[in-house]
Amino acid sequence: MTKKLFFLTIFLILIVIPVFADDNTNNQNVTVNINMTDLKAELGLNTGITDMRNQPSFGLGISTPLIGTNHDIYRGNEKFTTKTTGFNICLGYTWRTYMGDGLPTNGGALYYEFFTMALIVPMVGVGYDYRIGDNFMIGVGFPDMIHGSISL
């Protein structure tokens, strides 16, 4: 009964709307010009990203990718790692995402991660990574107490 009432309501709405709709006989054209650069800046989407690259990495830790990929973006001449993905030592896969702008070349960032153990047991982790130079990273978190990785 509820389905019939629902479809009857929809049917009546579709019939009644065109009857009461105002017939606009004045055919007017409206032109809208949108400047996408201004729109991006207004919405806060103007990030200044000049390049995006994926770099192989090797790490050691419970959830840190043993063999993985750093997803890097470049703003001006500075490199930021936005996420790291790859296979971890627990025979699973890790998706680690850095908060804010990402992990800078010389500095740190908080992260959250989703990973699996034995490819089927889902887990969640949080922590803080600090990058020293362009290639070496060390961090602390849960479930990794301490971990490190190197990028090529």
* Any domain includes 90: yes
Question: Are 62 and 88 spatial neighbours (Cβ–Cβ below 8 Å)?
Answer: yes
Residue-level pLDDT at 70? 92
Residue-level pLDDT at 123? 92
Q: Which domain holds residue 80?
A: 49-151
* Any domain includes 2: no
Closest among 121, 129, 119, 109 to 61, alpha carbons compared: 129
Residue-level pLDDT at 30? 67
Q: Does the pLDDT value for residue 98 go beyond 80?
A: yes
* Any domain includes 143: yes
* Any domain includes 19: no
Secondary structure (3-state) at 9: helix
Q: Does the pLDDT value for residue 83 go beyond 90?
A: yes
pTM of the model: 0.66
* Any domain includes 139: yes
Percent over 70 (pLDDT), the chain? 69
Distances, alpha carbon 52 to alpha carbons 68, 81, 125, in Å: 16, 10, 26
What confidence tens digit (pLDDT) does each residue in 42-79 have? 555 555 677 788 889 999 988 899 999 999 988 878 88
Confidence of residue 151 (pLDDT cuts 50, 70, 90): confident
* Any domain includes 39: no
* Any domain includes 40: no
In whole angstroms, give the CA distance from residue 44 to residue 41.
Answer: 5
* Any domain includes 62: yes
Residue-level pLDDT at 125? 93
Location of structure tokens 């009964």: 1
- The structural domain count of the chain equals 1
